[in-house]
Amino acid sequence: MNWQALKQQVLHANLELPRLGLVSFTWGNVSARDAASGAIVIKPSGLPYETMGADDMVVVDPDGRVLEGTRKPSSDLATHLELYRAFPALGGVVHTHSNWATVWAQACREIPALGTTHADYFRGAIPCTAVLGEAQIRGAYEKETGLAIVQHFRQAGIDPVQMPAVLVANHGPFVWGPDAEAAVHNAAVLELTAQMAFLTLQLNAQIPAMPAHLLDKHFLRKHGPGAYYGQS
């Protein structure tokens, strides 16, 4: 099977991370899923962005077995696989250690929905997972990270389509979308909203979350069945 076009898309999406200021050094990765075959293309582990090419991307099956490529896949592969397995609508996944989102993750705090910029993309507070236990960390750590995300979403009744981002406690953000490009866009928006929320709380630590009717109006006018934002 020819995955060359998807490998090129994943390469481009990965190269967007440093351009958008979402990663330093090699601290991030993007993957995308091929809807027809279920195969996943992901960045190779630890490879500098400035030296990567499309042929460096690694193609794996849904269980993580390498189908194409000579590089070792990202060390976060198992987390990506759990997200794809649990959330069928996902077509692309991004993990970064972007500054502002990671600050919230290290504080083990969700990012409250305080304004319409946030509401345009995320229908509610950006959730933060529980802190992983010692057994989870000593075991299949990256798989357990993915399972912790999935468990949090299911227990809280969160729709991953309406909430395309999560903070992993003590770690950083995972963000997704219908494809790799949309996932990177959502990661960039998450970073901006994380900064805005932090600064807003410096000005007014008692500010409440925005009214639900205003949040829903802004989210649904872009993403709801009667969406009217943008061009038809």
Indicate which residues carry an active-site annotation: 120, 229
**Cβ distance 156 to 90 under 8 Å?**
no
In terms of C-beta distances under 8 Å and separation of at least 24 residues, what long-range contacts does 195-201 make, across chains too? 195/100, 196/114, 196/115, 196/117, 196/118, 197/104, 197/111, 197/112, 197/114, 197/118, 198/100, 198/103, 198/104, 200/114, 200/115
Distances in whole angstroms, Cα of residue 198 to Cα of each of 59, 100, 170, 228: 38, 8, 17, 30
Which residue in 89, 59, 80, 79 sits closest to 178, CA to CA? 89
CA proximity to 113, closest of 185, 190, 183, 169 = 190
Coil, strand or helix at 172: strand
